[in-house]
Structure 1
């Protein structure tokens, strides 16, 4: 099931169809043809792929006489999905066939590691056909702190908050969003305000809440879920960190109990491990090795 963060990002591109073209041209330096309208089209690609397969959004740029000038397949990617290198070329080919125009694949993510993963060229196996996704990662998302820019493109400032809100520019991004909020309909204003607040660092959030009203309460169910998801992920990460720390100390405790000297580099490596399965193997190995360095050697280190 798509996460709330995923759905928020998809909605930004659906609410502002020209956002896909703006990000291609302004953030990624990709030429976009002249167009008079950007329109969200059906993203159901069941003609070629199974019915559960569909792109997140398909935007068609229309030129004169409503003629398609370019289609953009927008895919939000927040985690590794081994199916995507196989289905993305299908999305592009099917969209191109349906609208009879040049087609681009735009992958959107707010995670730098996912941006690198998504940008890998896809060799389809056909000579000369290698699909290289165009990826909008956090580095490519503009830092929007100008009120007039925010008013002209509210979805861009929300995207900016999601990508950069934890950084030093968080407060300025939030203030810029407030300038744009008055021009939004009630539903979008509530959702966007919640998402922006949820994305800011603690100091920036406090400042913005004070500017909006004391004790701000999240207005949309969508964003309340967004906040709850973040808290749950934080709790899960805390549990995982505690497990790693406990298991690392268990490895060292077994070695110490057996009277084996533990060199500093071995101790540091064990304490730095972020792999629970690896630590479990080391606990078992610690009970039988004759030298602490054999612990790492058994792991291929």
Structure 2
């Protein structure tokens, strides 16, 4: 019998809870949705408790949980989203707050590559690309390239051969190249520097002022703009600016913005003045990808994401309204 087969439920839950955040991030990479990942983790813990006698010992407990979580995600994908994303957009995409990513076990100072991989593979560009893969190749890619599992261990998890796993990994990497920006540095997140902070500041000011020419000057020519779950992907500066003008954004007034961070990217929570309520209420969340001093992608989320990001429900008037 497993050493964990005789522990009571509170003790077992305590052991499992230590891994909740990293399992949640793993499920988030698989599913692209914060809420779906929460459901998958709950299912993982339920299955783990029921199958506790199958774990061989505490040394393999973490890997055992990852196996269960991966299968829980694959089962969920088979029921809810059997087909991968198409067309470069992911309508079920949701942001992941940095404050929760900070709960992940920290890599040592001598593991810069591990830190880079963790940052790169949580960015929205990566999440969008990986959602275009079929579920099993997606699992192989994440287990091999993100978690660093051996092909033999992945094959055992999936009930497949090592050759099949290696073949799936090659296909997955090729698929990622199709959907990620052309060069690695185009999607790799960097620590914020003074130039990035200044660009975010100018973007904030221009957005609050509805100054489309100023905003356009900050966009790279091949910028991408999307607003999940609303369908529509705008590619290129001209298309983005045209959409802003047609939506009447240049005539909008009464905006305020709060800086935040999600998916290791700068983000801005916009609030809109509502005279009847006498407060600023949530409007949208803009998540920016910045490359070489220009904005290369804007992913806009609806106001329903604010609560999960611990953003204020409203902002008080400033006295200038």
TM interval, short-chain normalised: under 0.3
More strand as a share of residues: 2
Q: Give the structure-1-normalised TM-score.
A: 0.28
Q: Higher RCO, 1 or 2 (CA under 8 Å, sep at least 6)? A: 2
